[in-house]
Every structure is written in structure tokens, then in C-alpha cells.
Structure 1
Amino acid sequence: MAAAQQGSELAIHPMHQFLIKPLFGGDTIHWYTPTNQTLWMGIAILCVYLLLVVGSKGRAIIPTRAQSVAEVAYGFVYKMIEDIAGKEGLKFFPYIMTIFMFVVFANTLGLLPIGFATTAHFAVTGTLAILVFVSVTMIGFVRHGLGFLQLFWVTAAPLPLRPFLALIEVISYFVRPVSHSIRLGGNMMAGHAVVEVFAAFAAVALISPLSILGISAMYALELLAAFVQAYVFTILTVVYLKDALHPKH
């Protein structure tokens, strides 16, 4: 009996934290059902609004803490777009800035003890990646027409190789949303799962100190990853935008 009880105490279910549940009870989820996922995405959007709109509305010469953070984020994303996509890319700054801030807040809110990791779900990261893919493709065709197809024609390669390289370029282009979403979702899911595993061992007296150290180290790493993964997702978006604005190889 004691062994069975101890076994149940050490049961590790690291994926249970990612279960999507209706907010108001029940087991059935429809497309219109409010869930814990929609709640925390809404909180992330609210945080973006509070920081960038409410926190910066004073535009004081001596900025408040919220305004300082907003200005740092603004300058960071602005410089990223300018360096990669050039001055033309700055027209799309509001779109890129919104993506970056949403992913940052969604990542960090998932680290709260009562939080829910929305960006650990491929439905969320996949939707973001598809929106980026569709938007930059539309921008490419609107700006260049059929000239956008130059993106797939490697003029620097010998002529006999160009058709084969074009096929590879087309395949890699359509794989972009998959890699774009999996990179963010996979990293968020893996990190949270590892923290959960360390937390399960905290109940064992002999290894509890080591488990707490492991949790602390992983939590710090996850906090860093929350910002790094938001940066990676955003910079890839800007790279794809650059290809749409300047499709020639």
C-alpha cells in the first residue's frame, strides 16, 4: 500500500499543464467556447495594450517605467526591421511590433504559477506563422506581380541547375510556416515540460534540494527563452518580409 501510495505521489504528467479546458465547466469545446487558452491570449493582448497605449500615452520627457520599457521595445523592433528589410520594411512596423509584443507576453505569462502557456500550442503558433506566410506572400505579389517569382529563380547558379534549385526553393518556401511555428511551440512546450518534471521530484525528501535547484535554473532559462524565442519568431518574420520586398537573388 505504501509503495503504491509513493508511486502515485511520484506520478509525472508533464503534458497535463497543456490541456485546454472550458472556462465555465463541461467537457465539450466548440469554436466559440471560452477556454483557458483564449483567456490567457486575451490577457496577453491586454498587457500589450496597457504597456504600449496606456503606459505610453503621457509621452513624458522624463518617461515612466512603463514608457521606458515601451520605448526600448519600440527602438529594438524598429532597428531590427530597418537593418534587415530596409526603409521599405518600416511601413509594416505596426504589424511586426504587434507580433513581437504578443509573443513576448504570451511566453512570459505562461511562466506564472497559475499561467497557461498559449504559445506551447501549435494551433496558436501555427496560426501566427500562417498569417505571416500569407501576408508576406500577398505583399510580394502586390508589389511585384509575377516578378515575385524571381525569389525562386537563382540567377547566380548555372542555367542547367536553376530548375532543380527552383524546385528546392519552392519546397523550402512552403515549409516556412511549419518550421516557423514548430520552432516557437516546440521550445515553449519542452521547457515547461522539463520544469514540471523537476517539480514532481521536489516531493522526494532526498532529492528535493537538487530538484529545487533544477527548477530555479530551468525557470531562469525559460525566462530567457521567452524573450529569445519571441526575437527569433519576429526576426524570421522580418526576413520573410525582406524576401517579399526584394525577391531577387
Structure 2
Amino acid sequence: MATETAAADHGAEGGGLVFHPMDQFIVKPLFGEGEVHWYTITNVTLWMALAVLAVFALMVMMTSRRATIPTKGQSIAEMAYGFVYKMVEDVAGKDAVPFFPYVMTLFMFIVFANFLGLLPMSFTTTSHFAVTVVLALAVFLTVTIYGFMKNGAHFLNLFWVSSAPLPLRPILAVIELISYFVRPVSHSIRLAGNVMAGHAVIKVFAGFAAIAIISPVSIVAITAMYGLEVLVAFIQAYVFTILTCVYLKDALHPGH
């Protein structure tokens, strides 16, 4: 570690290119310095709070004075509402409509957290597994608990592939059970991994922009990657939400 630090310092002193794409994901105290504890207010706390405030501003403040001819803010809020409502109804069925407020909250928080993370000098909270794992576990526990509450022991039909030949059913049941408990892992890693990878690539290209010879190419690459990340910010929120709807459908209608 000391050797690597010395080499980095030597490169910096010699005018070499030294940058660390992963530094942007470091959790730091918002006030002062020192260790981060569970009660410490950090940059993650700040940007999560800003995401919540942004959702509140759009969905509450922009729609508080609803009009027949909507404002731009009201139009965006209504489009988001209709988009998520149709997703819940189409994927999980009308029985899942009572869960719409929860699914809507998930979608809006993730999409705003992703977009706020694209601002200069910001922090992308959804790039941290600590955030996405909590979101995924909340979905997993909600679906599992409600599945047993609604269906009782019949919820276990989710793991029993009745359409398969009888000798294969126990094997498939084990595979289905493992797949079910892996859900929160894949659900969280998909979101955090994609967001983190895109931001790291942008930082790499930004580091190369300091070199005069390849600066124009690097700037074009940054612009292209930034445009792609804007699309990814929405797509990853959509994927997380639609998977939540799929899991809700399993809780409401277990069985193959």
C-alpha cells in the first residue's frame, strides 16, 4: 500500500496522469472529518434527502394546484403516475393495485437518485449496495410476507413446477427455491452495478481529457457516455420497478 501511494505521489509530482475513478463513491462525513458511524450525516444522507425532496416537489407541490390545462410540472407528475400505474396493472394484475403507492415511491426515488447523481459534484446514492440492498430486501420481505398472508401454505406452489414430469419436480423445486432467495441479490446488484460502472467510465474519460493529444476524443467519449447514462438512469429505475411488479405477481398468484 505504501509503495502504491508513493508511486501515485511520484506520478503526480512528475506531471503524470493520476486519477482514481472509484474515489467518487467514497462515503464521507458531511461536516468535518473522521470515521463514519451509523449516526453520521454523510454525503449519502444529503443526496438521499435531496432525492426525497425532489420527489415531494414534483408529486405534491407541482400538483397542489391542479388545473384543467396542466403546467409542465403537473404534466410530468401525471405522466409518471399513469406510467407506473399501468405497469403495476399490466404486469402484476389489478389485484396488485393496492401496492401501487409503494411501487410508485420506489420508482420515483430511484429515478431521481439516478438523475441527481449525474449532476457535477454530486453523489450517486444508488451506486452503493448499502442503499440498493435495503430497497431489494424491502421488496423481498414484502412479497414473501404478503404471499404467505394471502395464500398460506399454497404460496409454496411457487416452487413446485406441476407441469414438469414428477421425477424432476423435487429437483426443480430446489432450483426454484435457490432462485427465489437469490432475488434480492440480483435485484440490488443489477441497479448498483450498472450505475457504478457508467460513472466510473465517465471519470476515466475525464481523466484522459487532461492529455492534450487525446483530449478531443475524450470529450466526445464523455458526451456520449453521459447521454448513455441519462438513458441508463431511467432504464435501471424501470427495470427495478418492473421486477418488483413481477415478484408481486408471484405473491398474488403463486404456482406454475
The separation in 1 between residues aligned to 2:15 and 2:246, in whole angstroms, is: 49
Q: TM-score, normalised by structure 2?
A: 0.94
Structure 1 segments of 4 or more deviating over 4 A? 3-9
The separation in 1 between residues aligned to 2:12 and 2:54, in whole angstroms, is: 43
The separation in 2 between residues aligned to 1:51 and 1:138, in whole angstroms, is: 32
- Give 1:13's aligned amino acid: H
The separation in 1 between residues aligned to 2:75 and 2:252, in whole angstroms, is: 32
* Percent identity of paired positions between Structure 1 and Structure 2: 66
The separation in 1 between residues aligned to 2:16 and 2:78, in whole angstroms, is: 47
Superposed CA offset, 1:61-107 (max 9, x none)? 11111110001101110111111111111110000000000000000
- Give 1:245's aligned amino acid: L
- Give 1:157's aligned amino acid: A
Q: CA RMSD in A?
A: 1.1
In structure 2, runs of 5+ residues without a counterpart are 1-9
Give the corresponding residue for 1:227.
234
The separation in 2 between residues aligned to 1:217 and 1:174, in whole angstroms, is: 37
| 2:219 is the alignment partner of 1:204 | no
Superposed CA offset, 1:34-54 (max 9, x none)? 000011000000000000011
Distance 1:201 1:89, change over 3 A: same
- Give 1:226's aligned amino acid: A
The separation in 2 between residues aligned to 1:174 and 1:92, in whole angstroms, is: 22
Give the corresponding residue for 1:28.
35
Give the corresponding residue for 1:138.
145
Give the corresponding residue for 1:124.
131
Of 21, 41, 51, which residue of structure 2 is paired with 1:44? 51
Give the corresponding residue for 1:72.
79
Give the corresponding residue for 2:22.
15
Of 91, 94, 102, which residue of structure 1 is paired with 2:109? 102
| 2:250 is the alignment partner of 1:246 | no
The separation in 1 between residues aligned to 2:206 and 2:234, in whole angstroms, is: 23
- Give 2:189's aligned amino acid: I
Of 198, 204, 207, which residue of structure 2 is paired with 1:191? 198
* Cα displacement (A) at 1:7: 5.5
- Give 2:178's aligned amino acid: I
Superposed CA offset, 1:160-191 (max 9, x none)? 11111000000000000000000000000000
The separation in 2 between residues aligned to 1:57 and 1:15, in whole angstroms, is: 41
Secondary structure in structure 2 of the residue aligned to 1:15: helix
Count residues with an aligned counterpart: 247
* Cα displacement (A) at 1:113: 0.2
* Cα displacement (A) at 1:200: 0.3
Q: TM-score, normalised by structure 1?
A: 0.97
The separation in 2 between residues aligned to 1:77 and 1:7, in whole angstroms, is: 54
Distance 1:5 1:146, change over 3 A: closer
Superposed CA offset, 1:130-189 (max 9, x none)? 000000111101100111111000000011111110000000000000000000000000
Give the corresponding residue for 2:93.
86
The separation in 2 between residues aligned to 1:5 and 1:121, in whole angstroms, is: 29
- Give 2:123's aligned amino acid: F
The separation in 2 between residues aligned to 1:207 and 1:44, in whole angstroms, is: 36
Of 96, 100, 115, which residue of structure 1 is paired with 2:122? 115
Distance 1:235 1:8, change over 3 A: farther
Distance 1:9 1:169, change over 3 A: same
Single out whichever of 3-12 and 154-163 deviates more from structure 2. Answer: 3-12
The answer to whether the 8 Å contact 2:12/2:18 transfers is: no
Give the corresponding residue for 1:237.
244
Distance 1:10 1:247, change over 3 A: same
